[in-house]
Amino acid sequence: MAWRFLPVVALLAAAGCGPKAPEPAGNALANPGFEEGAEQPAGWTLEQAPEKGRILRTEDPRRPGNHVLTLRPAAGNTDPQKLLGAGQVLQGDWLKGARLHLSARIEGDSGARPRVALLAMDAGGGVLALAFLDGSPGAETSMRERIVELPHETARAVLACLAEGTRGEARFDDVTISTRVPERPEAAWSFPPTPLAASIRVDASKVVRRAPRELFGVNTEWIWDGKGLWDAEGERFRPEVVEATRNLGVGLIRFPGGTFSDFYHWRDKVGPRALRPRTPAMARGDLLAHNVGTVEIQSFARAVGSGLMFTANAGSGTAQEAADWVRFANQRSRGPKVGWWEIGNELYLNDGSEGTASVAKTPRQYAEIAVEFAKAIRAADPSVRIGAILDESFYPNKPHKDWTDVVLPAVAPHVDFVAVHNAYAPVLPVDSGHTLREVYASMYAATELVRRNLDGLARRIAALPAPHRDRIGIAVTEWGPLFQVAPNGRFTDHCKTLGSALYTAAVLGVLLEQPKVHAACFFGLIDPLFIGLLGQRDGRYVPTAGYLGFQLLSRRLAERVVATSCETATFDSPAVGWVPAVRAVPWVRAYATKSDDGRRLTVVVINQHFDRNAKASLRLEGFRASGEARVTLLTGRGADAHTGTAPQRVPGIEWARP
């Protein structure tokens, strides 16, 4: 996966880099209320063109005598990297590690969506972090505010007022950036004091679908000896990792990455390991050894009893290269067959870095490439499943809003599944000062957004012509809890907590209950840093809380998903990170499976409340229980409970702890 950034660097270039300013006593912005200026506001740099729309200083229609910044987008305002906007540049040592209060009054109507973006940059112009205040088209004027903590490497920051859309108006007023942070900049948020009861009903006579083993997949990347799979000194896979992965019940292993897939040339990674060339993980970078290649990952899959999905290099590779890889893996190699082939990874993203910029595609470019790759792969092995990538999720800042519109109908005759990354949560590009409970509640709420997103995509597939609509499924090829990536982030290592395990179990329930989801790969299996189901403790890889939650389901669920409902108290979650505010989120979730012989029923109940036990009643229909029920419980002292794993120590890097 990759961070999504909305570039506002054009505003920085237009404004230039003036002298450094001392720490402001109050608001760091000039003319924050837009009371100075004529037709256009004084002190603001404008990013506009006739085809994109107009930027004006107008009288506030709701407060006569006051003025606002008004953005009127036009038909040409379609490039998410060059939106209609106005901004200011801030400089000075006071920005380094600053904790800022960002606020603004914003309003959008007739299709225009207002956004306030704060971009932190290093001395070389590299993007460090990005924070947003978001409005909605048609919403009345509202005060939006948040706390933003800038990285210590920040040399300058850009504040931009932007308009998304091609019509209407976006209005801004009273924009503030200040080091004077209120104790609580957002409205108080607390949990309702409702009794926590749950009424669960399972109808075992209604089978939703069979549960594919491929739903219990994981990601494994090739870098750093497979992120810890391989012991380079011992010239073998780590025995504790093989045993733990086998015990996890993994049904599918996705390889060779993530982002690294679109720079992966498989021929460099076969043959005697000592003779394999060292290459960078992406376009440039340190040269890395290739100890885990095609043959090794096939051997690992055989050892743990898993199937395989390979992501073909559609960023910097060719269709012929992909077809040759299929032939090597499925005919010449002695390993288990690779049954799933995905065409590229997140090629819709371009964060402005050299790596993503060198491989990013437009929707039409990708559609043409995907069809070419699919034909070549199919010719190499007609029996494999082939998938194309879609940008379908609840995440903000999609660079190509028409990606699915263009790609899906073009690839439908040629593929067997579409791949999406729609269940990373809560994702905090910048720590905005939210409490642990707010952050975790937002993560739990994301499960509802994942469900809606998958249901919507399933409807789009159902609208395709026959036989494509019946053949094509969904593969969620990356998903999982993800908080921060900065080593010193408060929540960076929280991917491994009990709360993250609850989110993992809840999302697995959503995947199981959507018949169109044919496969899913959790990110990731193992990581010496912070994002693996297996983490390091005392020099060895051991299960995290997420592993235990994943295993609880992968090893105990039966073959058939059956109809389940749960009535319980709900909460309204705040907007945190990538996750917007969500209403009526259930505290308790439940789903169930039944064995093929009808003799075993497994019911999963997930209590996400931070303090209260849930008193649940269970009503069974279509199943007569006999004998005793076996109960397996995963719990801890709090949502941030963990198994003691910690990121690998790296000289010069200090990791925050859960």
Domain locations along the chain: 9-178, 210-557
> What is the residue type of 412?
A
Which letter does DSSP use for residue 575 in this model? P
DSSP 526: B
Dihedral sign of CA atoms 89, 92, 93, 99 in order: negative
Secondary structure, 3-state, 276-339:
CCCECCCCCCCCECCCCCHHHHHHHHHHHCCEEEEEECCCCCCHHHHHHHHHHHHHHCCCCCCC
User: CB 195: neighbour CB atoms within 10 A?
Assistant: 8
pLDDT of residue 350: 82
pLDDT tens readout for residues 69-125:
999 999 998 887 788 999 999 999 999 988 888 888 888 887 888 989 998 988 888
The number of angstroms, rounded, from the C-alpha of 207 to the middle of its chain's C-alpha atoms is: 31
What pLDDT, on the 0 to 100 scale, is given for residue 138? 58
Given a contact cutoff of 8 angstroms between Cβ atoms, the answer to whether 106 and 62 are in contact is: no
Instruction: Judge contact between 577 and 531, C-beta under 8 A.
Output: no
| Strand pairing category for 169-178 and 67-73 | antiparallel
**HSE-up of 72 (CA within 13 Å, CB side)?**
8
User: In sequence order, which residues have a C-beta less than 8 Å from that of residue 344 and are 6 or more positions away?
Assistant: 261, 262, 311, 312, 313, 314, 315, 361, 366, 369, 370, 373, 389
In sequence order, which residues have a C-beta less than 8 Å from that of residue 396 and are 6 or more positions away?
4, 132, 134, 578
Instruction: State in Å, rounded, how far the first CA of the chain is from the last one.
Output: 23
Kindly state the greatest CA–CA separation across the chain: 82
pLDDT digits (tens, 9 = 90+) for 154-193: 999 999 999 988 999 999 998 999 887 654 434 344 555 6
Distances (CA, A) of 169 to 142, 165, 177, 209, 353: 15, 9, 23, 47, 32
User: Quick one: pLDDT at residue 161?
Assistant: 94
Using alpha carbons, select from 299, 83, 204, 189 the residue that is nearest to residue 598.
204
- pLDDT computed for residue 20 by the predictor: 56
Which residues of the chain fall below pLDDT 50? 1-19, 183-189
Element (H, E) at 512: helix 498-513
Reduced to 3 states (helix: H, G, I; strand: E, B; else coil), residue 127 is strand
Per-residue model confidence as pLDDT tens digits over 406-465:
999 999 999 999 999 999 999 988 777 788 899 999 999 999 999 999 999 999 999 999
Residue type, 149: E
Judge contact between 224 and 528, C-beta under 8 A.
Answer: yes
Please tell me the predicted confidence (pLDDT) of residue 657.
56
E strand or H helix at 413: none
Domain 210-557: give its CATH architecture. Alpha-Beta Barrel (3.20)
Instruction: Give the burial class of 428: count Cβ atoms within 10 A of its Cβ; 0-12 exposed, 13-18 middle, 19 or more buried.
Output: buried
Give pLDDT, residue 432. Answer: 73
Question: For 68, how many CA atoms within 13 A lie in the half-sphere containing its CB?
Answer: 22
User: Strand 197-210 and strand 560-568: pairing?
Assistant: antiparallel
3-state secondary structure 188-240: CCCCCCCCCEEEEEEEEEEEEEECCHHHCEEECCCHHHHHHCEECCCCEECHH
- Other CB atoms within a 10 A radius of the CB of residue 233 amount to 6
**CA dihedral sign, ordered 273, 274, 275, 280:** positive
Superfamily of domain 9-178 in CATH is Galactose-binding domain-like (2.60.120.260)
* Helical residues (DSSP H) of 381-430, grouped into ranges: 403-411
Q: Helices (H), strands (E): how many in the chain?
A: 12, 30
